[in-house]
Amino acid sequence: MKKIVLLVVALLTVGLIPMSASQACSRSQPFTLDELFDNAEVIVRATAVRYAKTPGDPRFMTTGVPESTIEFRVEEKLRGKNIPDKIVLNGYLSDLDDFNDVPVPYTFVRPGGRSGSCFANTYKEGAQFLLFLRKSGNRFTSDISALGPTNEQLHSKEDPWLVWVTDHLKTHTGRSVSVRGNTLQWLILYGFFS
């Protein structure tokens, strides 16, 4: 029995046996709001309007970076320079809500981003989102903080996440954010105790 246990441990160590058939995204360190704000060149409130480029096969959705793109109408510019009135991001349109279910300030991505590539890539058509973006070539991306709240759906213009971020930007310009995700919550959510 001891030899079998040692063999299994050895195989796991070299990666020959997968840890889980549904291995989700993982991080090496807990998420911090510093990371979110430091990585974002642009922060906007925007509405998902329509596909700029439709998916090749609408029955297939990747958890990686989709080939399809979505046009967003910028409703409010919170941070950044020379922000266009329309932004295009890779993603899929949906008719379903995907609101975050953790307390504000968010320290974890909405449910749609909790597996696969670590980023939510589906947006409800006609809904508003708070987008933390950076330039990637000549385009924008919200893939700036794995498992972070980079593109959260908003309930309204008075959404608590939008209010928190707006207040933070007004009062903490240039200073780090001290709020961090709960380490135990991070370990559980990221699969260390599964």
Q: Is residue 27's pLDDT more than 60?
A: yes
What's the pLDDT score for residue 92? Answer: 93
Q: Is residue 185's pLDDT more than 60?
A: no
- Give tens-digit pLDDT for 48-60: 999 999 887 766 6
Please give the sequence-ordered ranges of beta strands (E in DSSP) within 60-189, or none if there are none.
69-79, 86-90, 92-94, 122-124, 128-136, 139-141, 151-153
What's the pLDDT score for residue 26? Answer: 74
pTM of the predicted structure, to 2 decimals: 0.76
Helix (H) or strand (E) holding 11: helix 2-14
* Per-residue confidence band for 7, with pLDDT thresholds at 50, 70 and 90: very low
Q: Are 101 and 22 in contact (CB under 8 A)?
A: no
Residue with tokens 């967003």: 72
CA distance 39 to 50: 26
* Per-residue confidence band for 24, with pLDDT thresholds at 50, 70 and 90: low
Task: Parse the chain into domains and list their residue ranges.
Answer: 22-189
Burial (CB count within 10 angstroms: exposed 0-12, middle 13-18, buried 19+), residue 187: middle
- Give tens-digit pLDDT for 112-157: 888 777 889 999 999 999 999 999 888 999 999 999 999 999 999 9
Q: Are 66 and 90 in contact (CB under 8 A)?
A: yes
| Phi, psi torsion values for 182, nearest 5 degrees | -65, 125
Higher pLDDT, 189 or 64: 64
* Per-residue confidence band for 13, with pLDDT thresholds at 50, 70 and 90: very low
DSSP assignment string, 148-180? S-SEEE-SSTT-HHHHHHHHHHHH-TTS----B
